[in-house]
Structure 1
Amino acid sequence: MKHFLSSEGIVLLGAVAVLSSCNHMTQIKLQPYPETERGEVVDNYFGTEVADPYRWLEDDRSEATAAWVEAENAVTEDYLAQIPFRNAIRKRLTQLWNYPKEGAPSKHGNWWYYYYNDGLQNQSVLYRTKAPGEAGEVFLDPNTLSEDGTVALAAASFSKDGRYLAYAAAASGSDWVEIRVVDTATGQPTEDRINWVKNSGAQWAPDSEGFYYSAYDAPKGGVYSEQNQYQKIYYHRIGTPQSADRLIYEDPAHPLRYFWAWPSEDGEWLFVLASDGTSGTEVLFRKSSEKRFRTLLPGFDADYGVVTVRNGQLYYVTNRDASNYALRRIDLNDPSKDEVVIPEHERNLLEGVGTAGGYLFAQYLENAQNQIAQYDYDGRLVREVALPAIGTVGGFDGEKEDTELYYTLTNYTSPATIYRYDLSAGVSTLYKAPEVRFDPERYTTEQVFYPSKDGTLIPMFITHRRDMRLDGQNPCLLYGYGGFQINMTPGFNPAALMFVEQGGIYCVANLRGGSEYGEAWHRAGMLVNKQNVFDDFIAAAEYLIAGKYTSKERLAINGGSNGGLLVGACEVQRPDLYAVCLPQVGVLDMLRYHKFTIGWGWAVEYGTSEDEEQFGYIYKYSPLHNLKEGEKYPATLVMTADHDDRVVPAHSFKFAAQLQHCQGGDAPVLIRIESKAGHGAGKPTSKRIDEATDMYAFLFQNIGVPYRSVTDAE
């Protein structure tokens, strides 16, 4: 192990740790919360009157909301500034974040491209080289697109011939992006600019002369809060203005529907994938010589993902009649011919299928850990790919001419390591391993299975120091998501590693609502079954306490977005079970979420308050509406951002205001509102470190366990 503190720093921090370890925690003086006006708004839902006193906070353009945000941030910053070890946490997080991060290389034209971050760069830089392993040159540096690193690459795609790169630039974390184009021969940007694009990148036509994209009309009201309707597909030809782009597809009868275009590699077919929300799709198609789209795979009761077209047949993955997904192919000239290529696995989820070098690569999930199988195009198994370690894999996809590919593998104690895979021999060799500033041998991850309220066994990853003792005194952070078919698989997080380094236990529960065990697992945690997700998470907390991993006085819970809903609901339902609650960018007002930006797309997952039956079960768990005056709630740090146009910050504003109003105990209720940031994607490294610093400083302070110096922690 290297030493990363000066001798003076070790002495000073060590002295603080010795004093603090005697439980002489610094007493923090909490300023009075801002006086938040309570309005008289009351809505009637099917005979049930529901008060919404903080409706005015939904207006993100008003002077009153801006003043409230400033006042709340001042209280929060004053509290955090009093925590004596806040700067020490920031210093250690900076050290842990500061290691070179490199992505797997992929070939486009005559160049190999890869992302690289020297450690603390706000955004990773796109490099290129003539051959993997040789010194690369900077091709596109997002850090130069803004002074503060808040403009990020949301998506990037190369034309088939490698002549152009189209990238989506997202400012301040917004989901709105501008598509820009770079000529790879000169490295210079073209005049092409595409605006008002959301949930879309550039999908290049096979001739490399232009690309398809999905866009909305320019907002007439609040750019970051107005509901988005009538998404359309356009074709943009390089060198022409956006005003000349050709409309490819629209559906005026369904304003709340997503659409994406996907052309076949041979240029013979164009597909439109449609969705009413975050799950359930429909596939339309037409020949390149036709103008009218026809329905190929009708929706929206199953999911379809296109893979490739070969010999006039579309290969696609689906959970239609296959909860764990199967790979099928359908004859585009005679759609009645639709057959299974790779059948559904009895136990393992088929997460996706990639193609490279004339092979199919099926990526499976077994107990939330990846496996890869190599097949030919008729579904005959070539080999099970022997992975170098257990964890999460990415990158088994490429071009039909490839003889090799590069993939990444990561887990909770190891950042992404890159391997080269020989497609013919089926052998993996190490390409690049990151140099990290900690000793991974000190830590371990175990997987346990615990019973939920209804007896269902739920898997959970538990990462801790090897010398951990089950004495019930360990700090513990429980993380979850549980929704939208999103799987929680092992991944490296410098902030979580810092927590474990301190003797903490970092736990990730694979709750229902994801698809770790297929569509049945997803459906068991959506709509009327959503309470199962909260029960799973509460049961995880109870398991950790009963097993003496921790105690309720040392337990914190955390989640973002749908996971923020999870934390909010569990805090409201079991306030006695945790010491600290950390909801991030959460969906917390379940009665009005669908009225903002793309919130309507979540109705297939949650249901909406506009349906009487769905209102009944949503209202029962909506965090905002189930807070009780006088209840003693855990210490809570609500986190959001001013440019979050996915889960608008009004959710967090209203929840924090109501929780402050209801709090009957002494634990602080604070809200941290980040400026020039959004839902999370593309957040600069500096802001990630700042956010993690404040979150963990608040956590340690409110479980009564001080942060210790690195030397003392070891």
Structure 2
Amino acid sequence: MPQRLTYPATKKNDHADNYFGTTIADPYRWLENDHAADTAAWVKAQNAITDAYLDQIPFRGRILSRLVELSDYPRESAARRAGRWLFFSRNSGLQNQAVLYVQDGAEGKAEVLIDPNQLSEDGTIAIQATAFSKNQRYFAYSVAASGSDWQEILVLDFQRRELLADRIEHVKFSGISWAGDDGFYYSGYEQPRDEKTKFSAVSTHQRVYYHRIGTAQTEDLLIYEDRDHPLRYVDASLTEDERFLVLHIAEGTDGTEIRVRDLQDPHSSGFRTVVAGFDTNAAIIGNVGDKLILQTNAAAPRFRVVLMDPRKPDTADWSTLIPEATETLTDVATGGGKLFVSYLKDASTLVQQHRLDGTLEHQISLPGPGTAAGFGCRAHEDYFFYTFTSFTYPATVFRYDIATGLSALYKSPELRFDPEAFETKQVFYPSKDGTLVPMFITGKKGIELDGNNPTMLYAYGGFNINLTPAFSSSNIVWLEQGGIYCVANLRGGGEYGEDWHQAGMLDRKQNVFDDFIAAAEYLIAEKYTRPEKLAIRGGSNGGLLVGACMTQRPELFAAAIPQVGVLDMLRYHKFTVGWGWVVEYGSSDTEAQFRYLLSYSPLHNLRSGTCYPATLITTADHDDRVVPAHSFKFAAALQEAQGCAAPALIRIDIRAGHGAGKPTAKLIDEMADIWSFVWANTGGIVVQPLQEPPGNTKSLH
């Protein structure tokens, strides 16, 4: 029997809120103040006990060493074309951030354009959006520090390789759309009123600006704002021919309104609404002359592609180019006078090439079930690069020739592991209400189904986001030791279109938790594992998933890893951009929604004396997407409620955020801690060599 841990004392106050006659205590409200001295002291004390626990795991050092070895391999993104230049990112292996390179043509020598590792000593400054001006005179890019959503846009004179004085601050959730070589459109906010609360205060009034090169940000032209609706996102982009300026507007993470301005129409004085309201999801893909190509789920839950005249935007006047199919249409791009249409078939990618009139030319051949991305290019280009990956297939770059429809291997990574030792299969299991849910299961070939395999179950289940096969070097460590890795495609995602999404949102959110619990029960029934060896993990909305399931069925899991999770469902909308998730979750400000949010909110469903799974909560001090207060309060409440000796720990990363741009070193340390914790609490021990024999380098090609 493990010894019960002694946790740092966490003070409680008598704060409570009244929701429609129901009093809800919130004794750890003070932990929401992330810049207060007492919160900092609490963070330090919690990290100390977590570090002490992880340090005593005898095989953590070996796991860390193998993670370093598996991560130390050169890898590149698919190159994008900009005039005669190829532009791509490359990580030589253990660099904290990938370096941006340019190359003069396919046969040119790659040269460093921007090395973000030189921007900070600890690798915590990351590059986000990037864009060349039309004739490659300038290169604009945004940088974010310590994982924050806040960004700055910088501009490089590409011909001289000199950084200009132009600097755009207070940017968040923005692209960079150039108008010729003169300037670009972006989305920004006013300067935060209080720098101390910029990582937790609600972000409001996003606006679209135009910045002219060589001028100060204070002179930027305000293109669009909506003072009546401060809680809306707005993103601006130009069509490739720069004829239409397009605004995609959202009240949250679901639903789109689209407005356009025809810049060639001398009589156009403003934006015209072409997709009204927020009842559907839509995106402008491009244009054919004065007509717009639109991807939409209006009257098509699995999406279709239509051609519209912006002067006659009624749906009755739309012309269908590509009708709704059995598979879910996930992406459409133009290039070389074609349309490239990506579908999901049971959570794996299918890609088709169509003419601009919608006529199907052929399906693009891929290496197998997996995830392919990067299709499309400019209208005059005749080839492009894309990537393909799967659970045991590292991201590999292919060159695609539009005229022949043939793909050729371009860049293949080499790692020190044997992909032939593993296999992935897909199963379909029944959820509580009988709905069949797909799940990928990866493990060693010939693994014995005797119920004794340590198993990690991962899922997300929300926001119309698809979980598709992808390679992770850190998962190989788990697989090499005989662990099984499972990914369930729960309702709430978009794998089967908008109906699948809506079946897991708002008052139907419990379906998502039921799907996840049913996945665990399937793995147990089929003898892959048993509760004492089953771990669950998820991040962000997936952190909510883990928190809800471990509180609803604590006996079903040995270990739980809720990462940067939304764990306080009554107050999530009161921080940064949490208001944007109300369309997905609902709000405690509405009585009916308060009732169902309270029914599953992880923070509010912990019960004193219950034996909860061994839990390692992870968050970061600069997470301004899901503020760390969620994890702080949940950790404090879990430590108080825990009814057995299973550890209830929180790992708080410093100078890190929600996940995007996290340095390689921090990623490796975090995964070493997670896998060590999981192994220590699923009865697993490291039995296989964590060092491959010299010369046993395996290539996929």
The TM-score bracket by the shorter chain reads over 0.9
Shift of 1:334: 3.2
* Pick aligned residue for 2:666 from 668, 684, 687: 687
Deviations for 1:145-194, whole angstroms, at most 9, x for unmatched residues? 11110000121111222222111100000000001111111111111101
Shift of 1:72: 0.4
Q: Answer yes or no: is 1:335 the counterpart of 2:313.
A: yes
CA distance in 2, matches of 1:371, 1:131: 29
Q: Answer yes or no: is 1:240 the counterpart of 2:240.
A: no
Shift of 1:305: 1.0
Which amino acid in structure 1 is aligned with residue 205 of structure 2? Y
Q: Answer yes or no: is 1:698 the counterpart of 2:671.
A: no
Q: Which residue of 2 aligns with 1:635?
A: 614
Shift of 1:132: 2.5
Q: Which residue of 1 aligns with 2:193?
A: 220
CA distance in 1, matches of 2:45, 2:691: 37
What is the correspondence of 1:410-559 to structure 2 with a 5 Å cutoff? 410-559=389-538
* More displaced 10-residue stretch of structure 1: 309-318 or 559-568: 309-318
Conserved 8 A contact 2:66-2:690: no
Q: Which residue of 2 aligns with 1:209?
A: 182
Distance 1:541 1:214, change over 3 A: same
Which amino acid in structure 2 is aligned with residue 236 of structure 1? H
Q: Which residue of 2 aligns with 1:276?
A: 251
CA distance in 2, matches of 1:37, 1:83: 29
Secondary structure of the residue aligned to 1:631 is coil
Which amino acid in structure 2 is aligned with residue 274 of structure 1? I
Distance 1:558 1:133, change over 3 A: farther
Q: Which residue of 2 aligns with 1:113?
A: 87
Q: Which runs of 4+ in 1 moved over 4 A?
A: 27-31, 711-714
What is the correspondence of 1:15-164 to structure 2 with a 5 Å cutoff? 31-132=5-106, 134-164=108-138
* Pick aligned residue for 1:579 from 543, 546, 558: 558
Secondary structure of the residue aligned to 1:157 is strand
Shift of 1:285: 1.6
* More displaced 10-residue stretch of structure 1: 90-99 or 210-219: 210-219
Q: Which residue of 2 aligns with 1:185?
A: 159
CA distance in 1, matches of 2:648, 2:331: 42
Identity value in percent: 54
CA distance in 1, matches of 2:269, 2:225: 13
RMSD: 1.3
Q: Answer yes or no: is 1:315 the counterpart of 2:293.
A: yes
Conserved 8 A contact 1:114-1:126: yes
What is the correspondence of 1:352-431 to structure 2 with a 5 Å cutoff? 352-431=331-410
Conserved 8 A contact 1:503-1:713: no
Which amino acid in structure 1 is aligned with residue 110 of structure 2? G
CA distance in 2, matches of 1:711, 1:194: 47
Q: Which residue of 2 aligns with 1:10?
A: none
- Number of residues paired by the alignment? 686
Q: Answer yes or no: is 1:326 the counterpart of 2:304.
A: yes
Shift of 1:139: 1.0
CA distance in 2, matches of 1:590, 1:703: 29
Shift of 1:133: 5.3
Conserved 8 A contact 2:178-2:184: yes
CA distance in 2, matches of 1:360, 1:454: 39
Shift of 1:269: 2.1
CA distance in 1, matches of 2:530, 2:50: 26
CA distance in 1, matches of 2:402, 2:388: 17
Deviations for 1:471-495, whole angstroms, at most 9, x for unmatched residues? 1000000000000010000000111
Which amino acid in structure 1 is aligned with residue 82 of structure 2? H
Q: TM-score, normalised by structure 1?
A: 0.95
Shift of 1:393: 0.4
Conserved 8 A contact 1:30-1:79: no
Structure 1: give runs of 5+ residues left out of the alignment.
1-26
CA distance in 2, matches of 1:525, 1:86: 37
Shift of 1:28: 7.2
Deviations for 1:269-317, whole angstroms, at most 9, x for unmatched residues? 2121110000101011222243322211102000011100111011010
CA distance in 2, matches of 1:543, 1:131: 52
Deviations for 1:318-375, whole angstroms, at most 9, x for unmatched residues? 1111000000111123334321110000x20100111111000000100000011100
CA distance in 1, matches of 2:8, 2:604: 21
Secondary structure of the residue aligned to 1:710 is coil
Which amino acid in structure 1 is aligned with residue 369 of structure 2? I
CA distance in 2, matches of 1:372, 1:170: 33
Shift of 1:661: 0.5
Shift of 1:30: 6.2
CA distance in 2, matches of 1:418, 1:295: 39
Conserved 8 A contact 1:501-1:713: no
Which amino acid in structure 2 is aligned with residue 538 of structure 1? I
Deviations for 1:504-538, whole angstroms, at most 9, x for unmatched residues? 00000000000100000000000010000000000
Shift of 1:579: 0.2
Distance 1:711 1:65, change over 3 A: closer
Which amino acid in structure 1 is aligned with residue 39 of structure 2? T
Q: Which residue of 1 aligns with 2:234?
A: 259
Q: Answer yes or no: is 1:616 the counterpart of 2:595.
A: yes
Structure 2: give runs of 5+ residues left out of the alignment.
694-701
Which amino acid in structure 2 is aligned with residue 608 of structure 1? S
CA distance in 2, matches of 1:598, 1:71: 29
Shift of 1:61: 1.1
Q: Answer yes or no: is 1:249 the counterpart of 2:224.
A: yes
Deviations for 1:630-676, whole angstroms, at most 9, x for unmatched residues? 11101000000000000000000000000000001110000000000
Secondary structure of the residue aligned to 1:267 is coil
